[in-house]
Structure 1
């Protein structure tokens, strides 16, 4: 599995806001969806995390919007893991409009690995950390 995961989205009309372009809330949803799909593709789906009795929760999101996207556009959502620390991970995203190759947004999410029972941060186990290949800044798209 490549270290940079890609998922394509055709922008639905329901993602369009009063300004006639994709609403910022849609990007956050797409980030979460891509992160979950990437994890599942690496063998860590919801059932795997239940067995590990742990989960990921978001600590923060940061999004920089570079160009608008519109209903019907196909958006390539690329995501990768930039770092894994004791109980945290930084995941980055690039949104590209497939039709013209235009970067429309860059984003990142800091995730915290937590114990499912108590919700407290816990150490990321080797079976989780070894599932992802870290992408260094000079390897990023």
Structure 2
């Protein structure tokens, strides 16, 4: 069950520029996390909701393909969706566009774990259903 695409727009900030004159690779990781959190919040799965459930998402792996540099002042669109659900994990895809060009694409393996033990727990069906009806953006 793939979720609809969730999108978030921003302007690349000058404070995120690295010594090579473009947005730092570390910022791309932050953007991937930021849009994932915004997507989750938008469907009602805030940090407090996860806390009440007793489980939360943690990153197990990020893979990012950097396709072109993003520069300060560029209009950036972060688009994300859940591509696959497994028992206690999911694969989330993210596309980072600067203008009309894809600047990077990411794949993140998320594990759903207990707040108390840190051990993987099965993803509840209601969470999958909520993401399946996700809005298209903020």
TM over 0.5: yes
CA RMSD after TM alignment: 1.3
- State TM-score, norm by structure 1: 0.90
SS in 2 for 1:132: helix
Partner of 2:101: 102
SS in 2 for 1:111: strand
Q: Would you say 1:93 and 2:94 are equivalent positions?
A: yes
Partner of 2:33: 32
Q: Would you say 1:83 and 2:93 are equivalent positions?
A: no
Q: Deviations over 1:38-61 (max 9, x none)?
A: 011111111110110110000000
Partner of 1:60: 61
Q: Distance in 2 between matches of 1:72 and 1:26?
A: 14
Partner of 1:21: 22
- What residue ranges of structure 2 are gaps of 5+ in the alignment? 134-138
Could you tell me how far 1:81 is from its partner in structure 2?
Answer: 0.4
Structure 1 ranges of 4+ moved more than 3 A:
none
- What residue ranges of structure 1 are gaps of 5+ in the alignment? 135-141
SS in 2 for 1:121: coil
Alignment length (residue pairs) = 131
Partner of 1:116: 115
Partner of 2:124: 125
Higher relative contact order (CA 8 A, sep 6+): 2
- State TM-score, norm by structure 2: 0.92
